[in-house]
Amino acid sequence: MEAPPRRGFSEEQFRAACSELGQTAPGPPWQLLVESMGVSIYRLYDEQSGLYEYKIFGGLADCPPKLCADVYMDLEYRKQWDQYVKELYEKTYDGEKIIYWEVKYPFPLSNRDYVYIRECQEMDVDGRKIWVALAQSVSVPQCPEKPGIIRVKSYKQSLAIESDGKTGSKVYMYYFDNPGGMIPSWLVNWAAKSGVPAFLKDMQKACCNYSKRA
């Protein structure tokens, strides 16, 4: 039997994430949703799904970019500092590394789970050192859906991090997922407006504690 073709990311996708770091705001049709705690969040309506895509621009003070990338990629550590993680692990299927992630949702909503591939590269763009992590949902027969948990089948994320010229990092993130089911609009808005800045704040704290874990 032939091995299935590898699902990876192109050089263009990594470079596209890098180019976003040079911007302070995307142009129309992207709309500013909120500015909070030094983070600007923009959104774009996706007619096909009826949902929004998000672009986030911000910074993490006193967190060098290499440290941010290490913390972001460390799944075991993520379980310690991210209160919404129910289950998270990486497995190899047919020679390909696949991540399984179950996210806690507030009662009475069902938890969601994700099956996705992820890759991180250290890029050199005209002398700028940029760390880029890309993630995308995939379908893997070895990870079937579980009863009582809604599988998120459409998920994309890009993260680009570089030095802010001082002791911290500039951060750009693109995010889209289709959580399925009936989620009230107030929760979607809360997640976008409050959840993202709170996540970056948690990540900043996690970066500060990371070196103490030895």
Domain for residue 149, yes or no?
yes
Domain for residue 118, yes or no?
yes
Tell me whether the omega of the peptide bond preceding residue 108 falls within 30 degrees of 0, making it cis: yes
Neighbours of 84 (CB within 10 A): 15
Domain for residue 194, yes or no?
yes
Domain for residue 25, yes or no?
no
Q: pLDDT at position 203, please?
A: 93
* pLDDT tens by residue, 87-104: 999 999 988 999 999 999
CATH number at residue 111: 3.30.530.20
Domain for residue 59, yes or no?
yes
**Looking at per-residue confidence, does 135 or 194 come out higher?**
135
Domain for residue 138, yes or no?
yes
**Looking at per-residue confidence, does 161 or 198 come out higher?**
161
- What one-character DSSP code corresponds to residue 37? T
Question: What percentage of the chain reaches a pLDDT higher than 70?
Answer: 96
CB 47 within 8 A of CB 208: no
Domain for residue 79, yes or no?
yes
Longest dimension (CA), the chain: 53
Measured on CA atoms in the order 104, 106, 108, 109, is the torsion positive or negative? Answer: negative
Tell me how many degrees the CA angle 190-82-98 measures, rounded to the nearest 5: 105
Element holding 191 (H helix, E strand): none
Say whether pTM exceeds 0.95.
no
- Locate the DSSP E strands across the chain: 31-36, 39-46, 51-60, 85-93, 96-103, 112-125, 128-137, 150-151, 155-163, 169-177
* pLDDT tens by residue, 148-163: 999 999 999 999 999 9
Mean of per-residue pLDDT scores for the chain: 91
Radius of gyration of the chain from Cα atoms? 17
Quick one: average pLDDT of 199-206? 92
Number of domains comprising the chain: 1
Domain for residue 1, yes or no?
no
Structural domain containing residue 60: 40-213
